[in-house]
Structure 1
Amino acid sequence: MANLTTNRCPAPFIQDSLFDQGGFVEGRLCRALPTGITCCLPCPMTDWAYPDSFQTIGTAAQWVSVVGIIACIGLLVSWAVLPVEKTFRHYLSICLTTAVLFMSLGFVIPLAAQPEECYDAITPHSMHTNAVCAASGTFLILGGWAGVLWVFLRALSLHLQICWQVVVGRNFMWFSQAAGWGIPVLGVVFAIVFSGFSFRFGSTCHINHKNSLADLWIPLLVFAGLTIIIQFATFGYCIKVYLASLADNSSSTEGSGLPSYTNSIRTMTPKQAYRRVRRVIELQWRGIAIVLIIITDVIFFSIVFVFQDNTVEAVKRDSSIASDWIFCLFEKQGRKDACLDKAGPLVVNMPTVGAVLFLLGMNGIWLALLLGRWSMVTGWRDLLFGSFSDRNKKEFVSVDARLDDLKKDTRSYEMLSRDDSSGKPMDEAVTPSVVTPVSPTAKLPLRSPSSLRDPGRDSPAYHEGRRTPDYFGHTARYHVPVRSFSSPRPPQTVTWDAREMYARAGQNQQDEYVNPLGLNRI
C-alpha cells in the first residue's frame, strides 16, 4: 500500500508515482498537471461516475442471471433425462442453451466470489492478477460468441428449409458443431492474446480496449448482422408466399395442401406452398423468437459497451473533455453527488446500463419460457412419482387406426428433417417415427431384374422372412400374412362348370366357338 501522506495531488485524486506497475495500468484514468506530477482518479471509476445505486442495479442483474442459470440447467437436465417425446430436444436448442449458460456464468461468478476490483488505489485488476477476472471474462466472451453463432446457425437452418426446401441432416449437424464451438474458442483465444480482460465496468471483467474492435466486436456484429439479414429474408419469403396464395384460384389446391408425391415439393401451387410455410412457422415460432431476442441483446450490449469504451479512451487521450467534471470533483473535495451532472456526457446513462445487464441476465429465462414445454412437467411428475405406465400408451390396432391418430396430431405434418433412432439428427418439432406426407412410410431397396431371377436373393436370409414371388417362373403361391386382420382373403378354389359357362364338356377350348352375344350371361 502506498503512503498517501506524501500525495501532492488535490483530493480526491492520487499521485501515480506512489504505486508500482502492477495490475492493469492502462485502466488508470490520470491527468498530468503543469507541476510535472500525474494525478489519477481513484479506482474503480464507476464509483465516481455513477450514483451509489449503480452497485445495487448491478447486483440485482446478477441475481437475475442466477435465475437464468437455474432455468438453463433445468432445460439441459430435462433434455438429458426425459424421453424425447416429452422434451422434443434438438442439438440446436441444447447448444444454444449451453452458450447462454456460459454467458450467464460470466455475471454469476463475480457475485459468488465478490472479488476485489482494484489492484491498488488507482489500478484495476487484470486477468493476470485476479483469477475471478480471468474466469468471468472468459465465460462472458465464450458465451457471447457461442450465443451469436448458434442463433445464426438456427436462422440459417430455418432459412434453408423454408426458402430452399433443403432438408438439413447429419452433414449440417457436424458443420454446426464445428462452427458453433470452434469459432467461439478461437474468438476467446484471440481476445486473451491480443486484448485481455480487466475490471472496467462493474464487478464483471470485460475485454480491454486494445485490438478489441478487430478481435471481438466487429466479427461479432458481422455474424449478428448476417443473422438478421437471413431472418428477415425468411420473413420476406413467407410474405411473398402468402401474397401469392391470395391470388391463387386453382381448384387443385382446394382438397389437400400437401404434394401428392415426394418430389412434387418443387411444383407446389402457391396455396400449397403457403400451407407448408405456415405449418413450419407454427412449429418453429419459438426458435424464431429466441433468435430475435438474443441477437437484439447482443447487439445492444455491443453498441453500449463500445460507446462507453471509446468515451473512456477519448478522455484518456484528451483530458480536457472531462475538465468540468474533474474541476468539480476538486472544488467539492471529492463529493461525487454534486458532480454527477458533469459526468453524464462521459458515461452511458444508468437506465441504459441497467437495461443491458437485465436483458443479458434474462436470456436463460426466455429460453425456459420458449423452449420449455408443459410435457416436461408431466414427464418429471411421471419420473419422480411413478413410471411411465403402459396404460398411457395407445394400443396398436392397425395401420389405418394409427394414421387416424396422426391426423389428429398437428405435429404429424412437418417439412423439417427428422430421422429415426439410428443416430441421425432429429428436429424438435416432430415426434419420432411419424409418417409425414413428404416421406414414404417405408423405403424398400431397389432390385435389378437379375436379382429377381436369382432364387437365392428371394430367400428369407435376404428379406428377413418375407417371401417374394418369382415373376419370371411358375405361378406364385399366395401366403397368408401371420397377423393379417383385413382383406384380401386367401383365394378360394374355383371349379370350372362347363354347363354354366356354355362350353362343351370334354372338348378343347381352343376349338370351342363362343357366341359373343352370349357373353352377358356370364
Structure 2
Amino acid sequence: MATNGTNNCPTPFLQDSLFTDGGFVEGRICQKLTEELTCCLPCPMTDWAYPDAFQTMSSAANWVAVAGTICCVFLLLSWAVLPVDKTYRHYLSICLTVAVIFMSLGFVIPLAGNPEQCFDAITPNSMKTGSMCAASGFFLILGGWSGVLWVFLRALSLHLQICWQLVVGRSFMWFSQAFGWGIPIIGVVVAFVLSGVSFRFGPTCHINHKNSLADLWIPLLVFAGLTIIIQFATFGYCIKVYLASLADNSATTEGSGMPSYTNSIRTMTPKQAYRRVRRVIALQWRGIAIVLIIIADVIFFSIIFVFQDTTVESVKHDQSIATPWVLCLVKNGGDKVPCLGEASTLAVNMPTVGAVLFLLGMNGIWLLVLLGRWSMVTGWRDLFTTVPSRSKREFVSVDARLDDFKKDTRSYEMLSRDTGKIMDDSVTPYAVTPISPIHARSPVGAMNHEYLHMPSSDGRRTPDYFGNTARYQTPARSFSSPRPPQSVTWDARETYARPTSPYGQQQQQQQDRYVNPLGMNRI
C-alpha cells in the first residue's frame, strides 16, 4: 500500500519510499536517481515490456496446457482401466505422464485461480504472500525435475538393452522409482528453501534469481545433457551395427536369424545383431521421440528463462542498459506502444516467449499422440457398449424343461463348448460325436430316434443311416489317443521268456518234465 506522500518520479514510474516492504521486494525493478530518490517500474513488468496481446497469448498457452492435461488423464485412465493388451502400459510411460501432468498444472492453476500478481503497485507477490503462487511454482519445478529424470531413465533403459544387451528388470524398476521421484522432491525442497518462487514472468510463479543457477538450472541442464549423450550414443551404436551388417556375407547369417549358440548374444553375427537392434527400435521409437521432444522443451525453456532472468538482474546493476527505454517512456508520458522496440533490452521478445509456453503446454498432447494407441479407443468403446448378458452360461447344456423343447424344435441336443458332452442334471451325460446317435434311454435321444424314423409325406420312411453304424473297437495296444496304456496279459510261452511269477514258474517246471520229441531240434 502506498503511504502518504508525493510521487517525485516521472510518469509512469513510482517512488520507492512511498511503499512498504511487503511482498517480494527483491522483485521490484527500480533505478536510483539520487541518494534520496529511487524510482520503480509499476507491477507487473510484462504489462510494460510487451504489447497487450501478451495476456491473450499467455492465456492461450495455458489453455493448451489444459488440453495436454486432459490427454495425460486419458492415458492414465486407459492404463488403469483397460487390459494391458489394449494399452501396452509400462511404468516408464506412466511415470513420465504423471511428470508431464505436474508440469502442466503449473500453467493450469493460474488459469483456474486467476491470482493477483502484485502485492502493491510496484511489488510482485511471492510464495509467502500468495498460495496460488506457491502451488503453481511447486508443480512447475516438480514437473520439470521429474520430467527430465524420467526421460533420462527411459533413455538409459533403452541404452542398456541395445548397447549392452542387458535385460532391465525389477531391480531397475525400483531404482527408477526411488531415483525418478526422490531427486525431484529433494530438488523442489532445495529450490524453495534457497531461492523461492514469485510472479516474475506472467501469471505463473517462477524461481527467483537468488541461487537459482546452483539449485535448479545447472542440475537440470546436467541431466538433460546426459540424456542427450546417452541417446546419441545409442544412435551411434545402431549406425555401427547397421554398417557392420552391410559388410557381413557369412553363410550362417543368411541361413538363420538366431544366434549360433542359445542364450549367447556375444556369438551374434553382425546381421543378427542388426535384426535385433531393428526390432528394439521398431518397438521403442515412440519413447525415443518423446525423450527428444521433452528434453528439447526443457532445454529451450531453461535457456530462455535464464537469459531473461540474467537480463533483468543486469538492468538492476547497470542502469545504462535500460536508459533508452526509460527515456522513451518518460518522453511519451507513460505510453508503452512507441517504446516496445526499446524494451528488447529488458525482456525476451514475445514470439520466443510464446514458443516456449506453447511447447511446454503441448507435452501432454505429444504423449497422447506417441504413447496412445487406437486400441485404447476401441477398448473404451467395448467397455461401454458391451453389456454383460444375464442369460450367458459357462456351459451350454440341454434344457430339461419340456416347454423349452416345444418352443424350439430345431435344437435337440446342445453340447458343452468345453467337453463335448451333454450336460443335463436330469440325465446321465453321454459322449456325443457327429456320427453317433443319442442313447434311446435319454429323452433327447428318444426324440432324435423318432425324428430319424418319421414317415415322409409320400408314405416312405426315412432310411436309418445311423442306427446300424458299426461300433469301433479301439485296439488294446493302441496309443494314438492321450490316455495311459491298458494292461495287457501275455503268455511267456509265446516269447520263450523265463516266467517271473510263481504260477508261471510252476508251469515251466511241468513243461521241463515233458519233452516233445518233435520240438527237440527247434531253435
Query: Shorter-normalised TM-score: what interval?
Result: 0.7 to 0.9
The CA distance in 1 between the partners of 2:125 and 2:309, in whole Å, is: 17
Paired letter, 1:231: Q
1:258–1:276 CA contact under 8 A, matched in 2: no
User: Could you say which residue in structure 2 is the equivalent of 1:87?
Assistant: 87
The CA distance in 2 between the partners of 1:295 and 1:16, in whole Å, is: 41
User: Could you say which residue in structure 2 is the equivalent of 1:30?
Assistant: 30
The 3 A distance-change label for structure 1 pair 53 and 257 is same
Give the alignment of 1:282-293 within 5 angstroms.
282-293=282-293
User: Could you say which residue in structure 2 is the equivalent of 1:46?
Assistant: 46
Are positions 1:316 and 2:316 aligned together? yes
User: Could you say which residue in structure 2 is the equivalent of 1:278?
Assistant: 278
Residues 184-212 of structure 1 deviation map (CA, whole Å, 9 limit, x = unaligned): 00000000000000000000000000000
Give the gaps of 5 or more residues in structure 1: 398-477, 500-505, 507-511, 515-522
Deviation at 1:215, TM superposition (A): 0.2
Deviation at 1:144, TM superposition (A): 0.4
1:257–1:276 CA contact under 8 A, matched in 2: no
Secondary structure, counterpart of 2:199 in structure 1: strand
The CA distance in 2 between the partners of 1:272 and 1:380, in whole Å, is: 39
Secondary structure, counterpart of 1:31 in structure 2: strand
Residues 20-64 of structure 1 deviation map (CA, whole Å, 9 limit, x = unaligned): 111110000001113621000000011111111111110000000
The CA distance in 1 between the partners of 2:387 and 2:264, in whole Å, is: 44
2:3–2:19 CA contact under 8 A, matched in 1: no
The CA distance in 2 between the partners of 1:107 and 1:10, in whole Å, is: 35
The CA distance in 2 between the partners of 1:298 and 1:330, in whole Å, is: 38
The CA distance in 1 between the partners of 2:71 and 2:481, in whole Å, is: 51
Are positions 1:385 and 2:385 aligned together? yes
Paired letter, 1:331: K
The CA distance in 2 between the partners of 1:374 and 1:143, in whole Å, is: 27
The CA distance in 2 between the partners of 1:494 and 1:223, in whole Å, is: 80
User: Could you say which residue in structure 2 is the equivalent of 1:206?
Assistant: 206
Deviation at 1:224, TM superposition (A): 0.2
The CA distance in 1 between the partners of 2:490 and 2:7, in whole Å, is: 120
2:155–2:291 CA contact under 8 A, matched in 1: yes
Give the alignment of 1:71-470 within 5 angstroms.
71-259=71-259, 262-386=262-386
Deviation at 1:482, TM superposition (A): 9.2
How high is the TM-score relative to the length of structure 2?
0.75
The CA distance in 2 between the partners of 1:3 and 1:122, in whole Å, is: 13
Paired letter, 1:233: A
Deviation at 1:263, TM superposition (A): 1.8
Deviation at 1:489, TM superposition (A): 8.8
The CA distance in 1 between the partners of 2:36 and 2:277, in whole Å, is: 71
Give the gaps of 5 or more residues in structure 2: 393-416, 420-476, 497-511, 513-520
Deviation at 1:79, TM superposition (A): 0.5
The CA distance in 2 between the partners of 1:57 and 1:262, in whole Å, is: 60
Deviation at 1:493, TM superposition (A): 9.3
Residues 274-306 of structure 1 deviation map (CA, whole Å, 9 limit, x = unaligned): 000000000000000000000000000000000
The 3 A distance-change label for structure 1 pair 245 and 135 is same
The CA distance in 1 between the partners of 2:488 and 2:287, in whole Å, is: 58
1:161–1:168 CA contact under 8 A, matched in 2: yes
User: Could you say which residue in structure 1 is the equivalent of 2:8?
Assistant: 8
The CA distance in 1 between the partners of 2:68 and 2:418, in whole Å, is: 42
The 3 A distance-change label for structure 1 pair 260 and 198 is same
1:198–1:207 CA contact under 8 A, matched in 2: yes
Secondary structure, counterpart of 2:341 in structure 1: helix
Count of aligned pairs = 418
Secondary structure, counterpart of 1:136 in structure 2: helix
1:382–1:388 CA contact under 8 A, matched in 2: no
2:66–2:108 CA contact under 8 A, matched in 1: yes
The CA distance in 2 between the partners of 1:47 and 1:480, in whole Å, is: 91
The CA distance in 1 between the partners of 2:142 and 2:103, in whole Å, is: 7
Secondary structure, counterpart of 1:39 in structure 2: strand
Cα-Cα RMSD: 2.9
1:96–1:151 CA contact under 8 A, matched in 2: yes
The CA distance in 2 between the partners of 1:317 and 1:21, in whole Å, is: 20
The 3 A distance-change label for structure 1 pair 88 and 338 is same
Secondary structure, counterpart of 1:6 in structure 2: coil
The CA distance in 2 between the partners of 1:380 and 1:131, in whole Å, is: 38
The CA distance in 1 between the partners of 2:126 and 2:82, in whole Å, is: 43
2:260–2:267 CA contact under 8 A, matched in 1: no
How high is the TM-score relative to the length of structure 1?
0.75
Determine which structure has more spread, i.e. the larger CA radius of gyration: 2
